[in-house]
Amino acid sequence: MTPAIDLRDLSKSYGPVRALEGVTLSVERGEMFALVGPDGAGKTTLLRVLCGLLPPSGGSAAVLGHDIVRGTSSIRRRIGYLSQRFSLYGDLTVDENIEFFAEIHGVKAFRPRRDELLAFTRLDPFRSRLAEKLSGGMKQKLALACTLVHTPDVLFLDEPTTGVDPVSRRDFWTILSDLLKTGLTIVMCTPYLDEAERCGRVALLDDGGLLAVDTPAGLKRLMRGAVAEVVVRPIEGAADWLGGRPGVREVQAFGDRLHVVLDDASALAPLAAGLRADAFGVDAARIVPPSLENVFISLLENGGRS
């Protein structure tokens, strides 16, 4: 079976600005795939190219076996796209918004599908409420229902939980997990690496290029050395102190603590002792498993490309 998405050396430029450069990857059918990267990495551009909203500048790409240039109309009938600024109609009710998008997609007998989606997203009690009166999390669930009304085979999501409260984020992910069980392919951009951990595979992007693609566990294996978590005061001075020590590869700041990448875990005890000897307050120092954030920061700082 052909993959749901297949990219070969895909590039996209805006005049002299290179937004995507030589991206090659594939997404299997029924997979949940995450695109992760900082602002300007090319995530949104990549989704828009795959949806046929932007023409590529080079390379090739296929969605559900259709070339994105020659088969745009065939692709659009079979995909759903939830953008960062999905436009609900505030003066329409929940019911009316779904009906409107059903008509756009040519779904004639839409009422059973609408009822199914309202129950699925737990919006049924609010179906007569105006969209402008919904909370941020409920608006995102309604936007998702509108995107799914024509039963797409591939769902593209551009940072769907940004600005949504933690409870609504959890509910949204429960819905996505249930959608995955139906065989839907989901490709999402997310700034949250804890969300990327839930996906089958993750692509790390920076400056339009691909840093690495693998499962979350596979990406963590790219981390060289051991990661130590050090809670120390004052943190700024400690970061400078640690950065110049033998055996220290990197120092990454995480809120009120430092993650120190070491050549070997055995270096942690003497480093902690040295901090204390130089009047730093060390509250905790331990070896921790590497996170996706550790890997991503390390790749960015070392300019790694895979």
Q: Which residues, 6+ apart, have CB-to-CB distance to 36 below 8 Å? A: 43, 189, 190, 191, 193, 196, 202, 203, 204, 205, 292, 296
How big is the chain by its Cα radius of gyration, in Å?
Answer: 23
Measured CA distances, 294 to 34, 260, 291 (Å) = 17, 10, 5
Question: Domain residues of the chain, as ranges?
Answer: 5-220, 226-289
**284, 287, 293, 296: CA torsion to nearest 10:** 130
Handedness of CA 194, 200, 205, 210 (dihedral sign): positive
Structural tokens at position 192: 């949250």
pLDDT at 304: 56
Beta-bridge partners for 151: none
226-289 folds as Alpha-Beta Plaits (3.30.70)
Q: In this structure, what are the phi and psi dihedrals at residue 74, rounded to the nearest 5 degrees?
A: -65, -35
pLDDT averaged over 10-residue windows placed end to end, the chain, 306 residues: 95 95 97 94 95 96 96 94 86 96 93 95 95 93 95 96 86 92 96 91 96 96 94 95 93 94 96 96 96 92 61
What's the chain's length in residues? 306
d(CA 18, CA 149): 35
Direct distance between the N- and C-terminal alpha carbons of the chain, in angstroms, rounded to an integer: 26
Q: Which CATH number fits domain 5-220: 3.30.2320.80, 2.60.40.420, 3.40.50.300, 3.90.245.10?
A: 3.40.50.300
pLDDT score, position 84: 82
* Contact indicator for 170, 161 with CB cutoff of 8 Å: no
Q: Residue 305: its pLDDT value, please?
A: 47
pLDDT of residue 11: 97
pLDDT of residue 163: 81
SS3 248: strand
Confidence (pTM): 0.91
